[in-house]
Structure 1
Amino acid sequence: MLKAIHIRDFAIVAELDLELGEGMNALTGETGAGKSILLDALGLCLGDRATADTVRPGAERAEISAVFELAPGSAAAQWLAEREMAAEEEVAIRRVVQAQGRSRGYINGVPVALRMLRELGELLVDIHGQHAHQSLLRPAAQRALLDAYAGAEGERGAVREAYQRLTAIDREIGELEGAGQGYEERLELLRHQVEELEAAEPSSEGIAALEAEHQRLAHADELIRTAHSQLQALSDDEGAAQAALGRAIRELGERRHLDAALGEAVDLLETALAHLEEGCQTLRGFADGLESDPQRLAELEQRIANLRDLARKHHVAVEALPQTLEQLRAERHRLENAGERLEQLRAERGEALAAYQRAAAALSSVRAAAGERLAAAVGELLGELGMAGAELIPAVEHDPDAQPGPEGLDRVELRVRTNPGQPAGPLSKVASGGELSRLGLAIQVATVAQSQGVATLVFDEADAGIGGAVAEVVGRLLSTLGQRYQVLCVTHLPQVAAQAAHHFQVHKAQGEAQTHARVAPLAEPERIEEIARMLGGLEITDHERGAARELLERGRGSRA
């Protein structure tokens, strides 16, 4: 849920810090006070497009920060974890808009593209009303809402699995059929490339051994000279180390009886002499076995040059040639057996397509049944909301001949008929702003038991165009939603505001040069005054205050 929002230099807000609570939160204020500014700021923080009046006049930039509490395992928590931006229990989102128009977004302090703000925002907040976040107008959201209501995750999973199998087969068929356009030429080239690489013997061990032998022969003269020179210094010359070490052992050994401690030094020197003799013997064998071989060196250089040429031809490192050879062999084998494999794949595709169509038909059946239940539940609520005769019609049009997709073969659309006798049409074309808000409210209440969506619902004047008893019904329904979700509601009706668990008042303050909007949480006395103002107008009497107390008592009773 939305725990807190901080706004600085946005529109007519100089600075605002607001902490929101669980359940239903109501925002009220006089007409023109700027009640929707808070929602506009929240939308901007969640990736909405900035407009020319985003930054407060005279300020360098606008800044909005929002902190959301995350439920463990929620879609938003998973989204953050997948992108390595997870926090333990909450996420901080920040949007900065410069006066020149440049904009930056941050999630948990990490700079991100606005697209990512929108993606995360859709998992955190659902705004109902005349705003860009109206998920009810998105076809994908309509389908997802119906699927969630239907509890169709199993059927959707079966469709996705069948679709992935089908697309994998189609991809391989396409590769084989595409190769057929230049089949002979490609196969001939592959055979030549494989033969050429096989002749070069590019095994990992062979390349390493080749380079080691080349290194040794290329420096053979230098190695021989160095070995003989060191042998003379260590063993062959009259004053060599081996002779000096032998003399030292002999002279010290003759005197070791004079001091027992001398014996340890003699033992170590004898060990050193043994190692020196062994080392000289090994070095002599190395020098005797190494000889310059210009012909063999030339052969090695030619083989290495050939390997490098092959590596350049295939755009890989020399060390990667063995892997390249295996890949070319595999492709050659595939093309040599393409006809047989294509026949097998076409048979598999027929089975995979039939399996996909069965899974899609099962999903469609579940959607259609859920659509009927949802229409009945929403229709009953719309009657209570002053839209008697209006109908929500979830249309599920199944086309078994349509192009397969990961969501099945249905075209899902939520249609509405606002008055009896009128044709049903898409929500975006038939429903007015106020009607759409109430439709959204009815759908949210109807699907509350099945919904696994966002944790915060925002209603921007869902009560527009209604009053009296219906207004109290709207408040009761919003309060009902507040038992499961956090609800943020902008309202001008006292019957709705009285149902809220938390009440905030928006008002304008006139400064010397500018007008500022402020939002303040209301305690019980201030709340009575605000609801009395909403009931009575400019002059508040004890009668309005009494009526306000009565509304608040009824609101508390409905939440108990």
Structure 2
Amino acid sequence: MLRGLDIRDMLIIDRLELAFQPGLNVLTGETGAGKSILLDALGFVLGWRGRAELVRQGAEQGEVTAWFDLPQGHAAYAVLEHAGIIAEDELILRRINTRDGRKTAWVNDRRVSGEVLRNLSETLVELHGQHDDRGLLNPRGHRQMLDSFADLSPALDKTRDNWRALSAAQRTLDETEAKIAEARAEEDFLRHAVAELDALSPEAGEEATLDTQRRLMQAAEKIRTDIAKAAEALGLQGAEGLVGDASRWLQGVAGDAEGRLDAPLEALERVMIGLDEAQGQVADCLDALSFNTSELEDVEERLFAIRGLARKHGVQPDDLRGFADELRGRLSVLDDGARDLATQKAAVRAAQAAYDDAAQALRTKRQKAAEKLDAAMAKELAPLKMERAVFATLMTQAEQPGPEGIDTVAFTVATNPGAPAGPLNKIASGGELSRFLLALKVCLTQDAGGLTMIFDEIDRGVGGATADAVGRRLAELAADGQVLVVTHSPQVAALGGHHWRVEKQQTHDTTRSTVVALDADARVDEIARMLSGDKVTEAAKDAARALINA
């Protein structure tokens, strides 16, 4: 429940504080006095998008504060918890707008974003403005209104989940079919390339190995001669023989040398071991360099084949094996495609069946909700002097199914018995539209506990007994809650429990708007003004008292 509104330096308001009450709160005043400014200010602190220029002329910033009472279980508690704000019985919203357009907001002294304000506002206030019937006239919003009226969120969520599953299954099938079509278009190339690569069967690192072998073979004849000479020099006719002779000669005289030859003999033994190792490794090298001409041809042929395939396919020689695996994977789409397609088509059929079931269940719930809404509207229209009017929720098959189901919903009316039903904007007059709007909003918000409802000239286009009927419905609606109504109708104003008059004060260089709380006498004068115009007569005052006491 909205308990108060403090406005500073906004539009033509320099400072204004209002304390609202439970029940029906009425705001009246001459056209242009600034009644809509109050709603602009309230919308600003609630995060609604509205006028761009809100700061009062000459002020550096404007500020609006609103405070609400929150009963236990109010929907705002969930929003506050999600935003990490400690919830209390009183909720204080404050928002500042600077001259350069920057906006800053707080909730219970905690800095918040405009999104948090808007989420809170959905739980706090329901505004029905002068142009609110545009939403009512737009059939694209009717399905959402019906779903909200019946609280079909669980059925909607299930339908959306099944729609997403169906869409995902269909995408997978479409992608597989596209891949198969692409693979089929290049099947001949793929099969030839895979066969060619498999026949060659290159290994990673093989190209470098073959290149080394080729260069070694090409240089082998030249280096083999020198290596053979070295092998001979290391053998019995060379170093090995000389070292062996030296070792035998020294061993023959070592006994007479008093140990002086022991170290040289040990060194010679180590030399013999080293010579033996060197001879073995040189022999191995000679064996490796032993090849015939055909071996070099074979190495060159394979090396050039690997390099040729790498150039042909635009990959590195070491990547040929991986490239072959990639091509085989593309071919597997064709080879395994039939099995995959069968599985995926079955998945699409199953997802389609699940979606159809969910959408049909949602349709059934909507049909029951439509009947309930039509009955509720009939009850609401009667007290509004439209007991002969018929409101009907028309459900038809949507052109295309979607995440919200297979239904199109449109609100239709027939204002007189026997008259054809049709869209609201083509059938109902201005005053009838206002009453249809009031009735529909009452039905749609009947379970919205703790919600402050604001009506901005909902009674436009009606007068006399009809305006009285509208006022009485608003009063009944406010009996268990809070309703704020901006009105030009004396019949509606007379039914208010609390009454404020919006006044405009002008000097030669300034214009200010203020709001005055009316006592019993001032209220009679204001309603008399609404009845008679600028000149308030005693007859008008008597008529005002009669309306108030009726």
**When the two structures are superposed, what TM-score results if normalisation uses the length of structure 2?**
0.62
SS of the equivalent of 2:94 reads strand
Distance 2:490 2:156 in 1: 44
Matches within 5 A, 1:88-127: 88-127=88-127
- Encode CA deviations 1:218-261: one digit per residue, 9 max, x unaligned: xxxxxxxxxxxxxxxxxxxxxxxxxxxxxxxxxxxxxxxxxxxx
**Matching residue of 1:501:** 497
Instruction: Evaluate the alpha carbon distance shift between residue 537 and residue 436 of structure 1 in structure 2; reply closer, same or farther with a 3 A threshold.
Output: same
SS of the equivalent of 2:35 reads coil
Shift of residue 465, structure 1, vs aligned partner: 1.9
Matches within 5 A, 1:76-225: 76-85=76-85, 87-131=87-131, 136=136, 142-150=142-150, 152-163=152-163, 165-166=165-166, 169=169
SS of the equivalent of 1:47 reads coil
Amino acid at match of 1:367: R
Contact 1:124–1:455 (Cα < 8 Å) also in 2: yes
Shift of residue 14, structure 1, vs aligned partner: 1.2
The answer to whether structure 1 residue 514 and structure 2 residue 510 are counterparts is yes
Matches within 5 A, 1:459-474: 459-474=455-470
**Matching residue of 1:455:** 451
**How much identity, in percent, do the aligned residues show?**
42
Distance 2:81 2:180 in 1: 44
**Matching residue of 1:361:** 360
SS of the equivalent of 1:466 reads coil
The answer to whether structure 1 residue 439 and structure 2 residue 436 are counterparts is yes
Amino acid at match of 2:356: Q
SS of the equivalent of 1:371 reads helix
Shift of residue 13, structure 1, vs aligned partner: 1.1
Distance 2:80 2:167 in 1: 29
SS of the equivalent of 1:516 reads strand
Contact 1:364–1:398 (Cα < 8 Å) also in 2: no
Contact 2:71–2:450 (Cα < 8 Å) also in 1: no
Structure index of larger Rg: 2
Pick which of 348-357 and 153-162 moved more: 153-162
Shift of residue 6, structure 1, vs aligned partner: 1.6
Matches within 5 A, 1:413-424: 413-416=410-413
SS of the equivalent of 2:483 reads strand
Distance 1:58 1:446 in 2: 45
Pick which of 30-39 and 84-93 moved more: 84-93
Amino acid at match of 1:460: D
SS of the equivalent of 1:409 reads strand
Contact 2:124–2:450 (Cα < 8 Å) also in 1: yes
SS of the equivalent of 2:405 reads coil
Shift of residue 44, structure 1, vs aligned partner: 2.8
Contact 1:434–1:461 (Cα < 8 Å) also in 2: no
Instruction: Evaluate the alpha carbon distance shift between residue 489 and residue 71 of structure 1 in structure 2; reply closer, same or farther with a 3 A threshold.
Output: same
Distance 2:2 2:520 in 1: 23
Contact 2:70–2:450 (Cα < 8 Å) also in 1: no
The answer to whether structure 1 residue 43 and structure 2 residue 40 are counterparts is no
- Encode CA deviations 1:476-533: one digit per residue, 9 max, x unaligned: 1001111344211011222212222222111122346312111122233332332333
Residue-pair matches, total:
408
Contact 2:396–2:407 (Cα < 8 Å) also in 1: yes
The answer to whether structure 1 residue 34 and structure 2 residue 8 are counterparts is no
SS of the equivalent of 1:57 reads coil
Residue number among 524, 527, 544 corresponding to 1:528 in the alignment: 524
RMSD between aligned residues? 4.0
Contact 2:45–2:94 (Cα < 8 Å) also in 1: yes
SS of the equivalent of 2:402 reads coil
**Matching residue of 1:56:** 56
SS of the equivalent of 1:32 reads coil
Distance 1:473 1:56 in 2: 39
Unaligned 5+ residue runs, structure 1?
189-195, 197-334, 555-560
- Encode CA deviations 1:252-276: one digit per residue, 9 max, x unaligned: xxxxxxxxxxxxxxxxxxxxxxxxx
Instruction: Evaluate the alpha carbon distance shift between residue 395 and residue 77 of structure 1 in structure 2; reply closer, same or farther with a 3 A threshold.
Output: farther
Shift of residue 115, structure 1, vs aligned partner: 4.8
Distance 1:155 1:52 in 2: 40
**Matching residue of 2:302:** none
Shift of residue 471, structure 1, vs aligned partner: 1.5
Amino acid at match of 1:125: V
Distance 1:413 1:68 in 2: 36
Pick which of 152-161 and 348-357 moved more: 152-161
